[in-house]
């Protein structure tokens, strides 16, 4: 989609701080973080949301989430996925937010 901000980031038309990338997934730092670590996990292919994922991106995103937990040595995170009109950007993405209380054992 020409006007999709995440499609533009995937194409390199808009700069982003990349945390991880492979052939299907891009993980970037949120420009307005709501936690000490706030990443966005984005399929490179434009998919509206989880309800229209017919290609198994959810499974791939799950693998990336597990990898991030291990690499970052996090004990807890919050995952947020907005669907339909709740999504500010209608391109499937997950917010990966460090849970400070869980990480510190509180």
Distance CA 72, CA 36 (A): 12
Distance CA 29, CA 34 (A): 11
Active-site residue flag, 93: yes
DSSP state of 50: G
Which ranges constitute the DSSP H helices of the chain? 5-11, 57-71, 100-103
Q: Which of 29, 38, 46, 93 is the catalytic position?
A: 93
> Which positions are catalytic?
93
């Amino acid at each position: 989609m020409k006007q999709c901000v995440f499609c533009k980031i995937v194409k390199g038309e808009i700069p982003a701080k990349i945390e991880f990338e492979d052939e299907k997934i891009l993980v970037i730092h949120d420009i307005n973080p709501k936690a000490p670590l706030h990443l966005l996990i984005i399929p490179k292919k434009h998919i509206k949301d989880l309800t229209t994922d017919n290609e198994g991106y959810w499974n791939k995103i799950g693998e990336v989430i597990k990898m991030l937990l291990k690499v970052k040595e996090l004990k807890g995170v919050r995952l947020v996925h907005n669907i339909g009109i709740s999504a500010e950007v209608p391109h499937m993405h997950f917010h990966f937010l460090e849970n400070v209380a869980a990480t510190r054992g509180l």
